[in-house]
Amino acid sequence: MSEAASTDDINALAKGGRTNILGFLLRLAARLPFLFIAGRAYGPDIVGRYAIAVLVIEVAALLATLGLKRGLAQALASTERPHAHVVWDAVLVALIASAIASAVLIAFPQAMYPNSQVMGLERLLPLVVFAVAVSDVTLAALAYRHNIRASVTARAIVEPWTISIAAWGFSYVSSRDGLMYAYVLSMLAALAASVLPFVREYGVPRGWHPRVSDIVTLARRNAPLAGADAIEWGTRNVDRFILALLFSPAVVGIYYMAQQVASIPQRLKSSFDPILAPVVTHSLAENDRKSVAKQVRQVGFWIVSAQAACLVVFGIPAEGVMGLIGPEFVVGAGAMCILLVAEVLASTGAVCETGLIYVARHRNLVISLAVLLLQIALSFAFVVFARAQGWSEPVQAAGPAAALAVSLTIGSAAKAIMLRHMLGAPVVSIRPSFFVAIGAAALVGAAFMSLPHHYEWAELSLGMPAILVTFLFVMIKFGFGPEDRSLFRKTPADEATLPAEEKL
């Protein structure tokens, strides 16, 4: 690949990255009110029930997409059929898989409520799987055309603001079911915001007839991707399910709130997937593995920097952040700090996986499965050990968070080593300025945390912005090179080319 083409790829990633950063900030602005409303209006018990139900619904929806969130880009890049036909095949696959997943959960609703009774219309909640799966597939199809705006609108504006506003409104209707009503409404709103631009982009396919053989082939080819997606998602969420088996819903609710704050930067990484996948498949179509390594390395550095910024901003004043959600949630500050560190350690492996799923998908699946099994074993081991030592319940409940951090670090290192070997080029960018920025931000944070008690209000209102500004100043001034700064530099629209439609 020529230097100009390589620059075009970085510009395409930067353009998508700018849109995703905007979406990330919008999602953050909407997510924090939801956490405040859920914590204050419903309390940890109801939040815990909601957290487990949504956990099961989302993993069912993830399986129902059959890996198409990332695999659709490769299917489109390697076909001679009209793209409208391929994407409608994908939508049909998602609908069929959603019907199967919904039927299973409706038949066995206790999977959604392992530590409480099923009540009212809660048995019908799995019907939301249709909305989540179809929305994911249509947004992936739009991302192939580099339409990231639709994803930002649906996932960063419509969905989080709908659930925040609806959670507040429904709290006056039902303090028990209000969160569930708000979740259903937000998923339906996100579906509408995904399908409408999808139809405008691809249209209603003319001459399209579902081709059973193509649909079966598409599902079979994406099975490893679906497995990798499910395992990665399970790695980030199995801790919640383990807590539901070992502790009361209130403990799960507190942990869930800590997890939601800690996983905010992880959402930034997942929002990069739609724009990184087409660029990677384009480079692989030209058998240019050095460019793939460069793309993974570039996005990985952006993501790690964002993760570290969230670590210092939320981790230093952790008790104050959790206290905003509600006084009962302050005990989750330790778990939140551990989860924030885990996100930083895991980010390299998460970005490397975007390359591995195209060059070594089965080996990637094996590593991911091994990491998940290690995490599960360590989670139970840490909790049992903490109980044997007579430690407090908050310390016991932090065991799964510690297990997550250890297992993700091991998995991240393994995936980075494998991808480097497969591509023949480095895939990780480690710079001294990264650690300097964390240290400088920590010093500023420590200064605010040491203020007298009557200045406690300044820890969050002034301390968090000061910590963020310090970190960003050091990183951008001393750590960012010309390609890194392309993330903040507007490029002409025609520089971000679409992936070539050729066979891999």
Q: Is the dihedral of CA 187, 87, 299, 402 positive or negative?
A: positive
Q: What is the pLDDT of residue 485?
A: 60
Please state the separation of Cα 66 from the chain's center in Å.
17
Spell out the residues 6+ positions from residue 211 whose beta carbon is closer than 8 angstroms to its own.
Answer: 89
Q: Which residue has the tokens 């998508």?
A: 16
Q: What is the pLDDT of residue 262?
A: 84
3 state SS of 208 = coil
Q: What is the pLDDT of residue 504?
A: 30
Q: What is the pLDDT of residue 406?
A: 95
Determine whether 359 is exposed, middle or buried from the number of CB atoms within 10 Å of its CB (0-12, 13-18, 19+): middle
What is the amino acid identity at position 141?
A
Q: What is the pLDDT of residue 495?
A: 40
Domain extents in the chain: 3-430, 434-481
Residues of the chain with pLDDT under 70: 1-27, 70, 211-212, 214-216, 218-219, 222, 224-226, 265-275, 483-504
Residue ranges in 360-423 assigned as alpha helix (H): 361-388, 393-397, 399-423
Q: Could you read off the pLDDT of 161-197 as tens digits, one per residue?
A: 999 999 999 999 988 889 999 999 999 999 999 999 9
How far is it, in rounded angstroms, from Cα 260 to Cα 102? 25
Is 73 in contact with 86 (CB distance < 8 Å)?
no
